[in-house]
Structure 1
Amino acid sequence: MTTHTTTTEAGRVAGRPRILIVGGGFAGVECARRLERRLKPHEALITLVTPFDYQLYLPLLPQVASGVLTPQSVAVSLRRGLRRTRVLPGGAIGVDPAAKVCVVRKITDEVVNEPYDVIVLAPGSITRTFDIPGLTEHARGMKTLAEAAYLRDHVIAQLDLADAATDAAEREARLRFVVVGGGYAGTETAACLQRITTAACERYPRLDARDVHWHILDVAPKLMPELGDRLGAEAARTLRRRGIEVSLGVSVAKAEADRVTLTDGRELPCRTLIWTAGVAASPLVGTLGAETVKGRLAVTDRMTLPGFDGVFALGDAAAVPDRAKGDGAVCPPTAQHAQRQGKVVADNVVASLRGEPLRPYVHKDLGLVVDLGGKDAVSKPLGVQLTGLPAQAVARGYHLLALRTNVAKVRTATNWLLNAAAGDDYVRTGFQSRRPATLRDFEYTDAYLTPEEIRSRTSSSADAG
């Protein structure tokens, strides 16, 4: 691994404060966009650290996995929206708040020190896993664009292999798909992929759609409790009507290459285990040595980190107080909150540079939408409960409005129309076909430095300077 230390002396000479934004998701990109609008070029240098040159529209990943949308539809180009921001292609692997240095591993694996005057931490989250035998080796996630593309290939490969199989046990295992997690990601993933596997059987002469089995497991007593009892129950009824088995109060006890054992004792032949059982804050949080709330940085309602000069945090990595609910509640890790928090943090960064008072984050919930594929959906816009086609229209309208560029909106709408008119061809691209991919292959959770390693790097750099 090559190491190198950068210094931004030009920024110091020019007298411009260096604003470093970590994370190219909803929160980070919205913050950068607003900073560009609020600050003139001579007022600050803005840098965005992100491994990808796009903002991923995460809510539509299940539709990428099912082939309804192309990957480009949900990958919104950063270059279209950011004009002055320097994009550093890599991931932050440590922060030294005392030295005001962020350690970044670039996509070339070169490690650099990036000094800052103000840092905005929006590194997002990773898939939350548990100490379940075989889980990290055999489960697939749905958190990144690469995982969605890989999952589509994998699911279609199971149909191809099942059609060619001569062994009944192998065919049964390849035609059973288990999704762990009854939240939005798990429910929408199961719903969208069940539609394509069922429809695809018409193209396979040796497969019967009745032999394809999809299961949703969740330890919670209700499916998507955020929707409320009525809509949650309606979503469960819709899934069961389509043949998806929903098992609540149960999870996976053990995962193997060709079977999963459930906590209720059942053993299911299965070659596809999809893990969407929640998220955890980015491991970057642990490198600061700051107070946390359930793994998320404990910030004020102005999204400042108490005791740390020039540090703001938001999105999935921060426990932002939910002033609308009160009683110590924190905002859930959703795209809606992250996007809005990005704007408020940008305003607070500008205010801090200009010596003005910071404002708290207060929101009004716009509601929730769940696309179950085809004509099926449940939505709760502004508290109004909808199901079926009206809910689907609201869900897709919301997604189109939330996409940041007109190109992304047009591409997504065109894909929806094309898929509705022509259907799917169920083809594999051969993405990572020779070696099964694991959760760690996509999220790089073992790349972070310890606080001691970070201080060693920053102190040696300071001594060299």
Structure 2
Amino acid sequence: MTRSRVVIVGAGFAGYQAARGLIRHRAMREETEIVLINPTDYFLYLPLLPQVAAGLLEPRRVSVSLLATLPGVRLVLGEVDGVDLERRSVTYTGPEGDRGTMGYDRLLLTVGSVNKLLPVPGVAEHAHGFRGLPEALYLRDHITRQIELAAGTDDPEECAARCAFVVVGAGYTGTEVAAHGKLYTDVLARRHPVLRHRDLPRWLLLDIADRVLPELDPRLSRTADRVLRQRGVDVRTGHSVKEATRDGVLLDTGESVPTRTLVWCVGVRPDPLVSAVGLPEERGRLVVGPDLMVPDHPDVYAAGDAAAVPDLTRPGAYTPMTAQHASRQGKTAARNIAASYGFGEAAAYRHHDLGFAVDLGGVKAAANPLGMPLSGPAAGAVTRGYHLLALPGAGNRIRVTADWLLDAVLPRQSVQLGLVRSWAVPLDTAAPELPRRPAQVAPHPAGPHPPKGDPPS
């Protein structure tokens, strides 16, 4: 007798928690095959990615093995690029270019999100996003290289440009990238006597909103803004980039900022696969009911950033695209899929925010657990405690804790490994979790020279 098959597409917060929830049902494991299709063999704990870019954590610390933590789940490496609702199958491309087709009895789409693009000239060519591990590794190398090149030049204008780092988007990700990045470059600059006596490096954080962290509680915004400014970050709200070039950015104020680094953190958009499914959408997200089921398709579910989930705590609204919602929606999806097989009862997704935590580096953070505003070391302790609880895998938690302790007593390591080149992490990519291969890269308009930011080969 052929077992029924549940296919989960994407191992982000929603997909990982869904798979975890399904394997906890012993009867489900025995009577159904649970298949997880994902481009990588790990779940990436995104909230700690800024610490990877700042050299505080090693990349494997935030990469949780799917095979080790999801026993009983069949992992298929690949990028799903098509869904056939009539034949109840998905098509995918494997890591070596091989094509495959997988049939399903239940389908859960949790493909997550990619970098949000805006029609700003030059941004797609000269900016880099911050959604995947390759982008974090590239940024760590790039920042380190810019400081080293700045210290080695006799041209003060080039030195200033290489020591200027521009982050666009003062949301959760952009704020943490700027906060951790400033601490990291300060450490690097102290090792170069030529940079010690200059007002360098310089970090500029821009957002069109009127405050940092505009989507969070104003008290968190004020705390984060104060910490950033005290650290020396130039925070400019109500402003953004008008144009980006190889050598700098033009602000909407008319000011030109020479820089070699533009980090694009303006937000996210649902994975392009959602539109390819051909079902009703809400701003690029697949429309689902409170039970996370796609209307008129009882065998198809969606959760996380890919789904427009009705927010039952705010009638008429949809849940925001956050890791907190994605994780809990994944658990609800697992419960409802199991219920569709007769195991347990289905439930509607309903969740009240328990608060947010923003790690600002060092002992600084801004947090409001259960609505209680915290700042300083207390917020830092709560934030790191929350991340350790939320991070799957005991081994990962132990190693993260060890890295934090080592950073407190040892100098931070800062070498560029050159593993990820700039052309491998384009801003306009549907797969930020994978570096682009050389065969996928169009010829550089200037000829065979290395793209911006790369060391000579």
The normalised TM-score by structure 2 is 0.91
Relative to structure 1, is the Cα distance of residues 95 and 233 closer, same or farther in structure 2, using a 3 angstrom cutoff? same
List aligned pairs for 1:138-157, cutoff 5 A.
138-157=126-145
CA distance in 2, matches of 1:432, 1:345: 36
Structure 2 counterpart of 1:230: 219
Structure 1 counterpart of 2:189, from 169, 178, 201? 201
The RMSD of aligned alpha carbons is 1.8
**Contact preservation (8 Å) 1:36, 1:85:** yes
CA distance in 1, matches of 2:260, 2:315: 44
Is the counterpart of residue 31 in structure 1 residue 18 in structure 2?
Answer: yes
Structure 2 counterpart of 1:280: 269
CA distance in 2, matches of 1:185, 1:348: 31
Q: What is the percent sequence identity of the aligned residues?
A: 43
CA distance in 2, matches of 1:267, 1:434: 23
CA distance in 2, matches of 1:322, 1:30: 20
List aligned pairs for 1:201-280, cutoff 5 A.
201-208=189-196, 210-280=199-269
CA distance in 2, matches of 1:39, 1:311: 22
Query: CA offset at residue 305 of structure 1?
Result: 0.6
- Cα displacement string for residues 82-117 of structure 1 (whole angstroms, at most 9, x for unaligned residues): 111110001111111121111111111112111111
CA distance in 2, matches of 1:433, 1:163: 22
CA distance in 2, matches of 1:374, 1:264: 33
Structure 1 counterpart of 2:442: none
Query: CA offset at residue 25 of structure 1?
Result: 1.0
Q: Greater shift after overlay, 395-404 or 206-215?
A: 206-215
**Contact preservation (8 Å) 2:115, 2:131:** yes
- Cα displacement string for residues 428-457 of structure 1 (whole angstroms, at most 9, x for unaligned residues): 11223585742246637999xxxxxxxxxx
Structure 1 counterpart of 2:398: 410
Is the counterpart of residue 419 in structure 1 residue 399 in structure 2?
Answer: no
Letter aligned with residue 241 of structure 1: Q
Is the counterpart of residue 163 in structure 1 residue 151 in structure 2?
Answer: yes
Structure 2 counterpart of 1:107: 95
Structure 2 counterpart of 1:309, from 279, 298, 316? 298
Letter aligned with residue 229 of structure 1: P
Structure 1 counterpart of 2:3: 16
- Cα displacement string for residues 335-379 of structure 1 (whole angstroms, at most 9, x for unaligned residues): 111111111101100111228752101113221000100121110
List aligned pairs for 1:377-396, cutoff 5 A.
377-396=365-384
**Contact preservation (8 Å) 1:283, 1:445:** no
- Cα displacement string for residues 169-216 of structure 1 (whole angstroms, at most 9, x for unaligned residues): 211110100000110100000000100101211111221362211011
Structure 2 counterpart of 1:185, from 163, 166, 173? 173
Relative to structure 1, is the Cα distance of residues 433 and 17 closer, same or farther in structure 2, using a 3 angstrom cutoff? closer
Determine helix, strand or coil for the equivalent of 2:297. Answer: coil
Letter aligned with residue 25 of structure 1: G
Query: CA offset at residue 395 of structure 1?
Result: 0.2
List aligned pairs for 1:298-377, cutoff 5 A.
298-324=287-313, 326-354=314-342, 358-377=346-365
**Contact preservation (8 Å) 2:367, 2:374:** yes
Letter aligned with residue 294 of structure 1: R
Query: CA offset at residue 327 of structure 1?
Result: 2.5
Q: Greater shift after overlay, 417-426 or 147-156?
A: 417-426
Query: CA offset at residue 402 of structure 1?
Result: 0.4
CA distance in 2, matches of 1:230, 1:191: 17
CA distance in 2, matches of 1:80, 1:289: 35
**Contact preservation (8 Å) 2:420, 2:435:** no
- Which contiguous aligned blocks of 4+ residues in structure 1 show a shift greater than 4 angstroms? 433-437, 444-447
Letter aligned with residue 4 of structure 2: P
Q: How many residues align?
A: 433
Relative to structure 1, is the Cα distance of residues 445 and 428 closer, same or farther in structure 2, using a 3 angstrom cutoff? closer
Determine helix, strand or coil for the equivalent of 1:148. Answer: helix
Query: CA offset at residue 289 of structure 1?
Result: 1.1
Relative to structure 1, is the Cα distance of residues 77 and 179 closer, same or farther in structure 2, using a 3 angstrom cutoff? same
Relative to structure 1, is the Cα distance of residues 28 and 435 closer, same or farther in structure 2, using a 3 angstrom cutoff? closer
**Contact preservation (8 Å) 2:424, 2:436:** no
Query: CA offset at residue 226 of structure 1?
Result: 3.3
Relative to structure 1, is the Cα distance of residues 437 and 285 closer, same or farther in structure 2, using a 3 angstrom cutoff? closer
Gaps of 5+ in 2: 438-457
CA distance in 1, matches of 2:331, 2:344: 16
Letter aligned with residue 347 of structure 1: R
Structure 2 counterpart of 1:5: none
Query: CA offset at residue 131 of structure 1?
Result: 1.6
**Contact preservation (8 Å) 1:240, 1:246:** yes
**Contact preservation (8 Å) 2:137, 2:420:** no
**Contact preservation (8 Å) 1:39, 1:350:** no
Query: CA offset at residue 124 of structure 1?
Result: 0.4
